[in-house]
């Protein structure tokens, strides 16, 4: 057989078989744009009620848009909770109608993330995870898993979920197969890890995904980090982020443009923690680091079972729930530099009206930070509230009431070197 015949046969074979080859791998997505700016002396606005439910509204999330912010939460309408979402301006006032995402079961625990192109909303619908690209397929969400316990959204359509003690990944970077009819077949999800997994979170760096979760160990829980390629393959070893004993829970992760920063809550062993209080820890992990370069405890008054974190690329910001004196709880906010040092003043975001508050979330857009949370006022059920912390052109004195909408109370957040 001569060379021309061989080449012709090879070409025809490739053409004939190409129909069943996997689709070309999409290019890696860009990360969310980081301004690199700082936000000196932010001033909290009045608390604006975003939701208006007949029952309870809970677990809000917030995401920056070109103008204002997108806020989503779950609330009770009828017999089952559903997910609600709305666009608001910097004052927390609506600039769109509320979008409702009803499901087949109990819809709870929304999560939101984005990239340079779109925002993605993920939530639990009974025992499955659902995902929409905000403003695109709102009425036709994608569905993942069959016995899902928790799920979070990632950039570029990534979804991380926990199912039957396994952690699974699905992303638009996965090449799909093409069947005999030329239709794309959704690939099976990638297994990230197994064994006693809770509360995952994920961030895209522009080169890889970094996933964190709480893993069961003898006598407690650890925070673990795993890097993944765009198509869901494990990249390097697992990294143990937490080095403190007890129950380490609900990690949050951000990419600063140079490092990975993880914050989480910790309940010390019972013999050391008779009141069952939760502390907040923060670790910095280098881009390719196999262990944290720094871990610190953020000391404050009270107990926080969840902490939210964001970054501008020039600084970090966290929001949490702490004790309000002489009684009750409040949402607090604090800025840190990229090395984890406290900067500026601690701000109480929630005012004096709520009986109890919970589950704050924080996001940054040029000009300031948005903080959302749910709180109960006058024992009439919880609603979603919003406050915009506008960056100030001048530093305010620590005694200024402008930084404390409800007045000063509680203890100032302090740093404590852990290891």
Q: Which residue range is the domain that position 378 belongs to?
A: 28-174+182-417
Task: Read off the DSSP letter of residue 3.
Answer: H
Domain CATH for 141: 2.120.10.10
Residue pLDDT, tens place only, 383-399: 999 999 999 864 433 33
Is the residue at 193 inside a domain? yes
- In this predicted structure, what is the pLDDT of residue 337? 96
Q: What is the pLDDT of residue 414?
A: 66
Asked whether residue 256 is domain-assigned, the answer is: yes
pLDDT at 179: 67
Structural domain contains residue 258: yes
If one counts the domains in the chain, the total is 1
- Within a domain: residue 390? yes
- What Cα–Cα distance (Å) separates residue 329 from each residue in 49, 228, 301? 18, 38, 10
pLDDT tens-digit map of 133-163: 999 999 899 999 999 999 999 998 899 999 9
Residue 267 main-chain phi, psi, to 5 deg = -105, 115
Q: Which long-range contacts (CB under 8 A, 24 or more apart) does 178-184 make?
A: 178/19, 178/20, 178/21, 178/22, 178/23, 179/20, 180/19, 180/20, 182/19, 184/23
Number of residues assigned to the chain: 419
pLDDT < 70: residue spans in the chain: 1-32, 78, 173-179, 184-186, 274-275, 301, 379, 393-419
| pLDDT at residue 415, rounded to an integer | 62
* Residue 99, in any domain of the structure: yes
* Secondary structure letter of residue 402 according to DSSP: G
Q: How far is the C-alpha of 173 from the C-alpha of 159, rounded, in Å?
A: 11
Side by side, the strands of the sheet bearing 128-133 are 107-114, 119-125, 128-133, 142-144
| 1 part of a folded domain | no
Do the domain assignments include residue 317? yes
- Residue 251 located in a structural domain: yes
- CA distance to 60, 229, 353, per residue, from 52 (Å): 13, 41, 17
C-alpha to C-alpha distance for 218 and 198, rounded to whole angstroms: 15
**Contact 360/319 with Cβ under 8 angstroms?**
yes
Closest by alpha carbon to 54, among 276, 380, 353?
Answer: 380
Cβ neighbors of 390 (< 8 A, separation 6 or more) are: 42, 43, 45, 90, 367, 368
Longest Cα–Cα distance of the chain, Å, equals 92
């Amino acid at each position: 057989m001569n060379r021309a015949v061989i080449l012709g046969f090879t070409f025809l074979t490739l053409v004939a078989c190409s129909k069943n080859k996997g689709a070309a791998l999409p290019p890696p997505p860009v990360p969310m744009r980081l301004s690199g700016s700082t936000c000196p002396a932010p001033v909290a606005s009045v608390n604006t009620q975003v939701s208006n439910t007949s029952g309870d509204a809970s677990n809000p999330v917030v995401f920056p848009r070109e103008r204002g912010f997108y806020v989503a939460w779950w609330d009770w309408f009828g017999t089952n909770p559903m997910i609600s979402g709305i666009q608001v301006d910097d004052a927390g006032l609506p600039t769109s109608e509320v979008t409702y995402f009803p499901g087949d079961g109990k819809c709870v625990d929304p999560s939101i993330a984005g990239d340079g192109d779109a925002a993605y909303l993920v939530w639990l619908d009974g025992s499955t995870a659902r995902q929409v690209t905000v403003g695109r397929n709102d009425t036709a969400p994608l569905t993942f898993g069959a016995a899902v316990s928790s799920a979070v959204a990632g950039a570029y359509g990534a979804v991380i979920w926990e199912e039957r003690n396994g952690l699974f990944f699905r992303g638009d970077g996965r090449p799909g197969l093409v069947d005999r009819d030329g239709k794309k077949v959704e690939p099976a999800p990638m297994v990230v890890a197994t064994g006693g997994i809770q509360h995952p979170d994920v961030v895209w760096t522009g080169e890889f995904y970094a996933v964190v979760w709480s893993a069961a160990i003898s006598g407690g829980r650890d925070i673990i980090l795993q890097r993944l390629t765009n198509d869901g393959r494990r990249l390097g070893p697992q990294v143990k982020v937490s080095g403190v004993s007890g129950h380490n829970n609900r990690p949050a992760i951000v990419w600063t443009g140079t490092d990975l920063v993880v914050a989480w809550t910790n309940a010390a062993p019972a013999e050391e923690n008779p009141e069952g209080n939760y502390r907040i820890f923060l670790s910095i992990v280098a881009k390719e680091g196999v262990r944290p370069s720094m871990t610190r405890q953020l000391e404050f008054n009270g107990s926080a079972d969840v902490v939210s974190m964001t970054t501008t690329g020039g600084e970090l910001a966290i929001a949490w729930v702490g004790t309000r004196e002489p009684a009750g709880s409040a949402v607090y906010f604090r800025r840190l530099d990229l090395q984890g040092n406290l900067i500026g003043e601690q701000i109480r975001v929630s005012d004096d009206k709520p009986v109890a508050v919970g589950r704050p979330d924080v996001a940054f857009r040029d000009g300031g930070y948005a903080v959302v949370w749910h709180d109960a006022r006058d024992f009439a059920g919880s609603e979603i509230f919003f406050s915009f912390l506008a960056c100030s052109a001048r530093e305010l004195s620590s005694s200024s009431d402008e930084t404390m909408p409800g007045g000063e109370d509680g203890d100032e957040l302090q740093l404590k070197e852990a290891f």
